[in-house]
Amino acid sequence: MKYFLLSIATTSALMLALPAFSQDAKVGDLDIVHPYARAMLPGAQVGGGYLTINNNGATDDKLISVTSDRARSAQIHTMKITDGIMTMGELKEGLAVPAKAKTELKPGAYHIMFMNVQKPFKQGETVKATLTFEKAGPVEVEFTVGAANATEDKTGMNGQMDNHATHVMPMPSGSTEPMK
Ligand SMILES: [Cu+2]
């Protein structure tokens, strides 16, 4: 019994000492890997969220909505280059998550956009959100907030293409907006 108590104490101490690592999540055949968000500038109201979805099943699924206590709404965005201008817009029908495939949400590409954020995300904190999939259903996810230019691959290349601080609010849903 003594040993048991000791090991709990040791484990808690270790967990407190470690920085908040991202929490992977699972729902049905879907693995949600490394959810992270970017720190927002003071006064900024829009933040980006990124993660990878591994669909290990034989059925196509779709990410249809995202909600979070930290944002009045959240959208699933796509980014593309049209006539040399980077634009982004809401995927109103949701984001396809094909069977036996990996779907990546990352800077410069698909991403989750947290809108009307009252308290800007701060590096080191965790932002809770619920992702809802058409077939697999809802799943709680915790986004670890990294630096304002955080990218999973740390090349820094994509960071320049996806600076959400330049977003102008409000953005009519479904519209596209040139990136400045
Ligand atoms: Cu966006």
CA 82 – ligand 1 centroid, Å:
15
Dist. CA 46 → ligand 1 center (Å): 8
According to the model, what pLDDT value does residue 145 have?
96
Averaged confidence pLDDT in the chain: 81
Whole-number Å distance, alpha carbon 11 to ligand 1 midpoint, is 39
Q: How far is the CA of 12 from the centre of ligand 1 (A)?
A: 37
| pTM for the model | 0.74
The rounded Å distance from CA 90 to ligand 1 centre is 8
* Per-residue model confidence as pLDDT tens digits over 96-128: 999 999 999 999 899 999 999 999 999 999 999
Q: Concatenate the DSSP letters of all residues of the chain into one string.
A: -HHHHHHHHHHHHHHHHS--PPBPEEETTEEEEEEEEE---TT---EEEEEEEEE-SSS-EEEEEEEBTTEEEEEEEEEEEETTEEEEEE-TT-EEE-TTEEEEE-TTSSEEEEEEESS---TT-EEEEEEEETTTEEEEEEEEEE-TT--SS--STGGGG--GGG--S---TT--EE--
Q: Tens digits of per-residue pLDDT, 124-139?
A: 999 999 999 999 999 9
pLDDT tens readout for residues 64-85: 999 999 999 999 999 988 888 8
Class of domain 19-158: mainly beta
Q: Ligand 1 centre and the CA of 13: distance in Å?
A: 38
Domain ranges of the chain: 19-158
